[in-house]
Structures are given as C-alpha cells and as structure tokens.
A and B are shown apart, each in its own frame.
Chain A
Amino acid sequence: EVHLVESGGGLVQPGGSLSLSCAASGFNFWTSAMNWVRQAPGKGLEWVSHISGNSGITTFYADSVKGRFTISRDNSENILFLHMNSLRADDTAVYYCAKEEISETEGYSGSFYDYWGQGTLVTVSS
C-alpha cells in the first residue's frame, strides 16, 4: 500500500526558512516523479514544484516560488524534500506531496497524480 507522510510544517516568521519532508513507502520511490502541491486556507490547489524520478535531474517550479524554494530527494531513504526560503505570508498553506505517474507515450501531457499525502500546514506570520 502506498503511503506518503509529510512533516516539517509549523509557524515561521516572514523572511524565514523551513524545510518539509515527505516519507514515501509502498512503491518504487527512486523511479517515481514527485511533486509538491499547496492549498492556502479556504482556497484551491496550487502546484508548487516537480522533481523527476531516478537522479532527480529535472526540476520545475511555479513562478510564485521560483528562486525561493528548492525541491530535492533522497532515494536511499525514500524521502522527498522542499526547502523554503524567504517565506511570505502568501506562502501560508497546507503542503501536500504527490506521486506522479508519467505517460510513457505522452510524457508530461499524459501525467497525473495517483497518490497524495495528508499534508502539513505551514503558517507564515509574525
């Protein structure tokens, strides 16, 4: 059974830093692309970042976090990370990790998120 468990959320001051983790089990983590998606209180879903499977050589970031957030992975421990710097009030959200299934024939255009974690809350406030 697939399990994704996020941790590391909490209260941080504007301009501060925080690192999130997502512990994965139940599937071949090292070959799987992974993503972070967030949801501000009472709002919809917003994609944050993607990292490719295997070496994680390919990363994508939403414009809203580019240059401030860094996604990485430890395939030996089956953990996905999101390192967040220069945090702002509008980064306040529940952060979810999601496993991505990428189509062999269509690539990213045929991809989807087949498993999600329960999320961890990040609050940026003074």
Chain B
Amino acid sequence: SYELTQALSVSVALGQTARITCGGNDIGNKNVQWYQQKPGQALVLVIYRDDNRPSGIPERFSGSNSGNTATLTITRAQAGDEADYYCQIWDNTARYVFGTGTKVTVL
C-alpha cells in the first residue's frame, strides 16, 4: 500500500515561514492536496493539485511537489494558522491516501 509520511509537528515563529513536508515514493508524479484541520471546525482544502489555491485561501499558502517530497509552505505565519495539516493523494491501488498529519504551532 502507498504511504505518505509527515513530521508529527512543526513550530514557527509569528510572521516567519513554515514548511510542512509530505514524503512518498515518487510523489512528484502524483497530484497532492493539503487540508487544514482546526478543532471544532470543518476541514478546509488549502492546496489542490500540488500548487493551486482554492478561492478564499490566502496567498501566504503555497505548495510544491517534486521527487519524493511535497511541501506546503506558509509564509508570514499567523496565530490563526495553528492547525493540523494533512497531505493527500490518489493511488490506483490504495485509492485515496492521507498523510499522517502535522501539527503546526505558531510561537
């Protein structure tokens, strides 16, 4: 089965840049999505197909994908960006695969 690996946690100083990685075998050849999860709120799509932002998502959120690693970058981090972030891909065998999730803390 296909696995996506994320760091358990990432800390970022207020106003600085956070990078959240998602590792998977040849993930660069797959489309990667990123979802934000805050306590008590519905999950939100923040990046789709590697580097596309849905309407309403700030430009501070960007994505990239190459080789065996996809990255979600949050620039000028704000307190409101504190959340769990999950990457996700489609695999022909495993179907929809989620990463293990990364908790982002803004210091």
Binding site for B on A (CB under 8 A): 4, 35, 37, 44-47, 50, 60, 62, 96, 98, 101, 103, 106, 108-119
Which residues from chain B contact A119 at a C-beta distance below 8 Å?
42
**Cβ–Cβ contact B90 & A109, under 8 A:** yes
A108 and B31 alpha carbons, distance in the complex (Å): 10
Among A44, A109, A112: residue with most chain B CB under 10 A: A112
B102 nearest CB across to chain A (Å): 10
Main secondary structure of the interface of B (DSSP, over half): strand
Indicate whether B99 reaches chain A with its CB closer than 8 angstroms. Answer: yes
Main secondary structure of the interface of A (DSSP, over half): strand
**Cβ–Cβ contact B100 & A44, under 8 A:** yes
Among B41, B48, B99, B100: residue with most chain A CB under 10 A: B48
Q: Which range contains the number of B residues in contact with the other chain?
A: 20 to 34
Among B44, B86, B95, B98: residue with most chain A CB under 10 A: B95
Q: Nearest CB to that of A110 among chain B residues?
A: B31
B48 nearest CB across to chain A (Å): 4
**Cβ–Cβ contact B98 & A116, under 8 A:** no
Encode contact with A along B73-100: 1 for CB under 8 Å, 0 otherwise. Answer: 0000000000000101010100111111
A110 and B33 alpha carbons, distance in the complex (Å): 9
**Cβ–Cβ contact B33 & A112, under 8 A:** yes
A111 and B31 alpha carbons, distance in the complex (Å): 8
With A108-B90, A112-B33: A35-B96 Cβ-Cβ less than 8 Å: yes
- Additional pairs, 13, CB under 8 Å, beyond known A35-B96, A44-B100: A45-B98, A46-B98, A47-B95, A47-B96, A62-B95, A103-B49, A106-B31, A110-B49, A110-B90, A112-B48, A113-B35, A113-B43, A116-B43
